[in-house]
Amino acid sequence: MPDATIAQPRRSLALPRVNTSAVVMTLYLLFLMLPIYWLVNMSLKTNSEILGGFSLWPQEPTLRNYRVILTDASWYMGYVNSLIYVCMNTVLSVVVALPAAYAFSRYRFMGDKHLFFWLLTNRMAPPAVFALPFFQLYSSVGLFDTHIAVALAHCLFNVPLAVWILEGFMRGVPKEIDETAYIDGYSFPRFFVKIFMPLIASGIGVAAFFCFMFSWVELLLSRTLTSVNAKPIAATMTRTVSASGLDWGVLAAAGVLTIVPGALVIYFVRNYIAKGFALGRV
Amino acid sequence: MDKPTNHKAWFLVLPVLVLVAFSAVIPLMTVVNYSVQDTFGNNRFFWAGLEWFEEMLRSERMWNALGRQLIFSATILAIEVPLGIFVALNMPKRGVWASVCLVLMSLPLLIPFNVVGTIWQIFGRVDIGLLGYTLDRLGINYNYTQNAVDAWITVIVMDVWHWTSLVALLCYAGLQSIPDAYYQAAKIDQASRWKVFRYIELPKMAGVLMIAVLLRFMDSFMIYTEPFVVTGGGPGNATTFLSINLVKMALGQFDLGPAAAFSIMYFLVILLISWVFYTVMTNLDRKGG
Amino acid sequence: MARITLDKLAHSYLPAPKSDADWALKEMTHVWEDGAAYALLGPSGCGKSTLLNIISGLLAPSQGRILFDDADMTHAPTTARNIAQVFQFPVVYDTMSVRDNLAFPLRNRGRDPAYIAERVQAIARMIGMEDQLDRKARGLTADAKQKISLGRGMVRRDVNAILFDEPLTVIDPHMKWELRTQLKSLHREFGHTMIYVTHDQTEALTFADRVVVMHDGRVVQIGTPEELFETPEHTFVGYFIGSPGMNVLPARVEGTRAYIEGAEVELAHGYPALSGKVEIGVRPEFARLSATEGLPVRIRRVEDVGRHKIVRAEFFSHEINIIAREEDRIGADQTRVRFDPDRVNVYADDWRVSGEAA
């Protein structure tokens, strides 16, 4: 039943009815949006305007900063690199996590609880601890500065997370469905792909969303493992520090552009966000 | 739940095992290896036993970083958890505005960490940042690069900005699972707003709230990029948290032995605290189910 | 305790209802007498839960008024109405003990602890959970939880009315009967006004003094179980109550005669000329097979349900059900159906028309 239809008590005082929830949410969203707005604002200004005076919106809006990024390969390749390893990581994490999550949700086997906790500990491992060993490991096997190196490194925290999320969703699917499918003569792989995966489609979506998110926002490992060819956009941003000082406008524009893929992903999954954040555990 | 025992399930777990072993176990072995050796350069190593661990335990720098880290994590949890619950309670339950809130609130979560740092670095600057400029105009002396207290406030506000939505969204998911009949029954029972929260909403949120606390604790304990971009660990060492300290040691000074020993202890502390959380959580799960 | 009056009440979930179908609850005026036990009977989606929520104040009606005795309560909040309500699915406070759950409505109203303890004991005895009072409610079975909900609904003695919204859905059949009997004896003992929503006719007919039948957002008949059975005011009541439901056949009515597909049926009363859709309705209980008189039918099958037999017959394309006694012989020569003229009701556009004495 919509809230609005629930009878409201009559206020005895003739105060104007203030919707406190709306006020709280407005203030909170304002708090969230102001810093982002400021970045967008700056990205549309010239450097001289940024440093010259203070204004709440661009006096002479310019797209110069965006043009700099989108016409310079060393800039925009950063986005391409980031997207490549993020997508590789997302696919890899979900694909290996699917059978494992199924095993955890359906069977008891030797050491299952310990294994599950051990997997989770990797989600808890500080990237800073792994930065140097990763650098040495991938250098020694010749993977340094490749997309796959970053994708593999991010599996460290994304695979356990994907297993955890998917296990939660799979637990919600009744076991009888598996049994019926086997009785109907489905082989395990066919059952898994044709019947089971569609049932947990939203779970797969949520897992993919989280893998995308954590891989996209991580910087320490991706910067450590790359130098030129696979350098992520987030690391490229440090370039704006040059002899002539910071190029604030370009920095802001680059920042705004890193928000765009995330915003797009959120827009597509907006109807699943609430359920997704509960990781299938509600 | 009664699950059948089937050891063949190991084959299903194998891909994960191989992948995680490659990306976690091998590097971890390297760390352990370094932690017990000493080097004089040229890739020549000597057995050093537990020397580095002893040195680290005596190191004031590490204890200070740990202290700062604990204060930081405790502070952000103390702010983000109640604030997140409060925001979740005030979110519209359905309709267009619910979608708008969900999308806008998720936005900070998908911004790369260093961009988060950059945003706040700019936002707080007295010359070009909205926050710094406004505070300066109001006559408040604010400078996060010089003043340790200002730096702390900035880093904490930044973390609250960045992550409160995660807590709120998790709680919101918990709240969404409460049937309307509960609220109606509470009205009929004449329960106060506080009692509705205490006996209906909070119990339903308990599970997801544990996840939220666990995630926030782990991630805040490993925080590196955001404060590093804003303050670089300064002024002085005022905002040098454990990870910043570690990276300074390992990549900055190439003190591999101490850094490795430090890494292991760091990891163990996180593991210990997380294990406690995990145990409490699964116990709750069992009672709830 | 109070008499509850619904005055020209109607409700729509849409902000600006246009057609008749937009109204979940069509305009109605009705008085719920103080101390009576009512059942609100109808299929899912007929508006009975909407009506219940309007009475308890969880929903504000789009139009009309609700009076408790003579006080206008239309916009009063739930708490001011002093009403108890039990929902379809168990609502218990999981983290509280059974005792605290039962005491909750009283404690919130600041009642004296000694009185609360006494009431909780009495209710616990009634729902048979005295030995589980100190258990946490979490982890109890669904029907134990629903018993707690029922108990919480009845723990206050001074309520204006107790509303039940299909409360026994999750309870197993044998327990259902027992709880219903308890509710009934409780009603006799304390005389609360009770409104019991259900879609199960047996539940409604055994519980209530008066049954309110709803169909498509409208109250179609209010009456004792006997009235609903003998003189359904609307063809829907005929269909819905009884097993099988009333036979409804399209007819032409002239004075004391009705004609179905040309065949004549005798009526006990005379009727004026009727317009619109005209039908006659006869309960299967008042139809019997005959070899010599009545409508010629084709018998399709006979179901023996133990106490009696149900004969499924066909007259042209209209189905006619007949209830025959167990000992009645059904011979091959019995191909006619005769209706008891006193029990034949006449309907125009689904509503019953009363006849004049013939």
Query: Which residues in C lie closer than 8 A to residue B288 (C-beta atoms)?
Result: 138
Indicate yes or no: CB of C60 within 8 angstroms of CB of A1. Answer: no
Cβ burial A237-266 (10 Å sphere, 16+ → b, else e): bebbeeeeeebbbbbbbbbbbbbebbeebb
Query: Which residues in C lie closer than 8 A to residue A17 (C-beta atoms)?
Result: none
**What end-to-end distance do the CA atoms of chain B give, in Å?**
9
Residue pair B244/B227 in contact (Cβ under 8 Å)? The answer is yes
**Count of CB atoms situated within 10 Å of the CB of C97:** 16
Return the C-alpha torsion angle C38, C44, C45, C46, nearest 10. -40
Domain boundaries, chain C: 4-240, 249-357
pLDDT, mean of residues B216-220:
87
Report the pLDDT value the prediction gives residue C104, as an integer from 0 to 100: 93
Indicate yes or no: CB of A107 within 8 angstroms of CB of B222. Answer: no
Q: pTM for this structure?
A: 0.80
Report the pLDDT value the prediction gives residue A12, as an integer from 0 to 100: 41
Answer whether residue B256 shows pLDDT above 80.
no
Nearest-CA distance A14 → chain B (Å): 22
Asked if the C-beta of C71 comes within 8 angstroms of chain A's C-beta atoms, the answer is no
- B83: nearest CA partner in chain A: A28
Rounded Cα distance between A260 and C301, Å, is 71
Rounded Cα distance between C284 and C324, Å, is 9
- A158: nearest CA partner in chain B: B20
Rounded Cα distance between B99 and B79, Å, is 25
Looking up tokens 């329960």 gives B191
Rounded Cα distance between C242 and C285, Å, is 9
**Count of CB atoms situated within 10 Å of the CB of C27:** 15
**What end-to-end distance do the CA atoms of chain A give, in Å?**
20
Q: Which residues contact C42 (CB under 8 A, 6 or more apart)?
A: C48, C199, C213, C214, C215, C240
Report the pLDDT value the prediction gives residue A6, as an integer from 0 to 100: 42
Report the pLDDT value the prediction gives residue B49, as an integer from 0 to 100: 67
3-state percent helix, strand, coil for chain A, nearest multiple of 5: 75, 0, 25
Residue A188 main-chain phi, psi, to 5 deg: -60, -50
Per-residue confidence at B225, pLDDT binned at 50, 70, 90?
confident
All domains in chain B, ordered by first residue: 61-288 (1.10.3720.10)
Q: Convert the pLDDT of each residue in B182-211 to its tens digit.
A: 998 998 888 889 999 999 999 888 878 888
Indicate yes or no: CB of B16 within 8 angstroms of CB of A31. Answer: no
Which DSSP string corresponds to A224-272? HT-SSTT--HHHHGGGGEETTEE-HHHHHHHHHHHHHHHHHHHHHHTTT
Rounded Cα distance between C159 and A178, Å, is 51
Query: Is the backbone of residue B275 left (phi > 0), alpha (psi -120 to 50) or beta?
Result: alpha
Rounded Cα distance between C52 and B76, Å, is 47
Q: Convert the pLDDT of each residue in B53-105 to its tens digit.
A: 777 777 788 888 888 999 999 999 999 999 999 999 999 887 788 888 888 99
Query: Which residues in C lie closer than 8 A to residue A4 (C-beta atoms)?
Result: none
Could you tell me which residues of chain A have a Cβ less than 8 Å from any Cβ in chain C? 1, 5-10
Q: Convert the pLDDT of each residue in C14-32 to its tens digit.
A: 888 888 788 888 888 888 8
Q: Convert the pLDDT of each residue in B134-177 to its tens digit.
A: 888 888 888 888 888 888 999 999 999 999 998 998 888 888 88
Report the pLDDT value the prediction gives residue A277, as an integer from 0 to 100: 63
Residue pair C169/C203 in contact (Cβ under 8 Å)? The answer is no
Residue C156 main-chain phi, psi, to 5 deg: -90, 130
Rounded Cα distance between B272 and B252, Å, is 28
Query: Which residues in C lie closer than 8 A to residue A8 (C-beta atoms)?
Result: 60, 77
Indicate yes or no: CB of C59 within 8 angstroms of CB of A5. Answer: yes
Regions of chain C where pLDDT drops below 70: 1, 357-358
Return the C-alpha torsion angle B185, B191, B197, B202, nearest 10. -60
Nearest-CA distance B192 → chain C (Å): 8
The domain made up of C4-240 is a member of CATH 3.40.50.300: yes
ipTM for this prediction: 0.84
Report the pLDDT value the prediction gives residue A27, as an integer from 0 to 100: 94
Of residues C260, C254, C348, the one with CA closest to residue C297: C260
Could you tell me which residues of chain B have a Cβ less than 8 Å from any Cβ in chain C? 179, 181-182, 184-185, 187-192, 195, 199-200, 203, 287-288
Asked if the C-beta of C75 comes within 8 angstroms of chain A's C-beta atoms, the answer is yes
Indicate yes or no: CB of C58 within 8 angstroms of CB of A10. Answer: no
Regions of chain A where pLDDT drops below 50: 1-14, 242-243, 282
All domains in chain A, ordered by first residue: 18-62 (no CATH), 72-277 (1.10.3720.10)
The full length of chain C comes to 358
Report the pLDDT value the prediction gives residue A3, as an integer from 0 to 100: 40
Which DSSP string corresponds to C41-85? E--TTSSHHHHHHHHHTSS--SEEEEEETTEE-TT--HHHH-EEE
Residue B36 main-chain phi, psi, to 5 deg: -110, 15
Indicate yes or no: CB of A234 within 8 angstroms of CB of B115. Answer: yes
Report the pLDDT value the prediction gives residue A98, as an integer from 0 to 100: 93
Neighbors of chain C with 3 or more C-beta pairs under 8 Å: A, B
DSSP SS3 for C11: strand
Q: Where are the beta strands (DSSP E) in chain A?
A: 241-242, 245-246
CB < 8 Å & 24+ apart, contacts of B51-57: B51/B257, B52/B257, B52/B258, B52/B260, B52/B261, B53/B261, B53/B264, B53/B265, B55/B258, B55/B261, B56/B258, B56/B261, B56/B262, B56/B265, B57/B265
Query: Which residues in C lie closer than 8 A to residue A7 (C-beta atoms)?
Result: 57-60, 75-78
The domain made up of C249-357 is a member of CATH 3.90.1150.10: no
Q: Convert the pLDDT of each residue in A73-89 to its tens digit.
A: 878 888 888 899 999 99
Q: Convert the pLDDT of each residue in C122-143 to its tens digit.
A: 889 888 888 888 988 888 888 8
Answer whether residue B39 shows pLDDT above 70.
no
Residue C41 main-chain phi, psi, to 5 deg: -115, 140
Which DSSP string corresponds to C220-240? EEEE-HHHHHH--SBHHHHHH
Of residues B288, C340, B131, B198, the one with CA closest to residue A35: B131
